[in-house]
Chains A and B, each alone.
Chain A
Amino acid sequence: DQQVKQNSPSLSVQEGRISILNCDYTNSMFDYFLWYKKYPAEGPTFLISISSIKDKNEDGRFTVFLNKSAKHLSLHIVPSQPGDSAVYFCAARNAGNMLTFGGGTRLMVKP
C-alpha cells in the first residue's frame, strides 16, 4: 500500500499561469515533506521541503503548503515557465533520512 500518493499522473498548464501539484500521505509519523524535480535522462534534483511543524514554505516561484489534518501537501509554481516542464515527485521522510516517494506527476508548461 502506497504511503505517499500523487493522484494526477500529468498536468498541463499555460505559461505564466499557476501550476498546482498535489500529494496525499497516510503515515502521520512523517516529519519532513519534499518535492523533487526530474528531467529526462537525469537524476531527481531537490526542489523544496517543508517540516511537519509548518504549513507553508516559499522559495521564489515555488511554494509548498502542508495540511496535516488532511494529510495533504501541494506545490504551487507561480508563474509557470516552459523550463518547469518535468516530472515532479513528492516524498516524505520517516526514520533517519529515509524517503518514501509518490508516483510522480508530469508537468507540461505550454508557451
Chain B
Amino acid sequence: EAQVTQNPRYLITVTGKKLTVTCSQNMNHEYMSWYRQDPGLGLRQIYYSMNVEVTDKGDVPEGYKVSRKEKRNFPLILESPSPNQTSLYFCASSLWRTGNLYNEQFFGPGTRLTVL
C-alpha cells in the first residue's frame, strides 16, 4: 500500500530535550516536506527536500532541522524544543514537478507534539 508513515503519532516532552520525528514514504517520491498545523493558520511549511541531500527552508524553519540521506526518509529534528513548537506536524511527499501538471502531495497521519 502506497503511504507516508510518521512516528511517533503522539509525543509529550519537556523544553530543551532533543527529539526526532521520523517520516518515511514508499512511493519513490523525490519531493518531501514537513508542515505544522496550528488553529486558524492552516498548514505552514517548515522544510522541504527536492531530492537526496537537497533541502531548503520553508516559511517557518526556525528551531527545526532536517536531513535527507535516503530517498524514502525525511526526519524532522528539534534540537531544543520550546513550548511554541507545540503543534500538529505533517510529513508529505510527491513526485517532483513534471511540466505543468499538479503532482498530488500525499500526507502522513500526523504527529501531535506537546512541549511542556
Listed in ascending order, the chain A residues whose CB lies under 8 Å from chain B are: 2, 4, 6, 9, 31-32, 34, 36, 41-46, 49, 51, 89, 91, 93, 96-104
Is there contact, CB below 8 Å, between B110 and A97?
no
Is there contact, CB below 8 Å, between B110 and A41?
yes
- B48: CB under 8 A from chain A? yes
- Of the candidates A43, A96, A98, the one whose C-beta lies within 8 Å of that of B110 is A43
How many whole Å from A96's CB to the nearest CB in chain B? Answer: 5
Hey, which chain A residues are within 8 Å of B100, CB to CB?
A: 31, 51
- B97: CB under 8 A from chain A? yes
* Contacts A91-B43, A102-B42, A104-B42 supplied; 9 other A-B pairs, CB < 8 Å: A6-B42, A36-B107, A42-B109, A43-B90, A43-B107, A44-B90, A44-B107, A99-B43, A99-B45
- Of the candidates B35, B43, B105, the one whose C-beta lies within 8 Å of that of A97 is B105
| With A32-B102, A43-B4, A45-B107 as contacts: A101 and B48 at CB distance below 8 Å | no
| With A9-B40, A41-B110 as contacts: A34 and B96 at CB distance below 8 Å | no
- Of the candidates A9, A44, A45, A51, the one whose C-beta lies within 8 Å of that of B43 is A44
Is there contact, CB below 8 Å, between A97 and B94?
yes
- B108: CB under 8 A from chain A? yes
- Of the candidates B40, B41, B105, B109, the one whose C-beta lies within 8 Å of that of A99 is B105
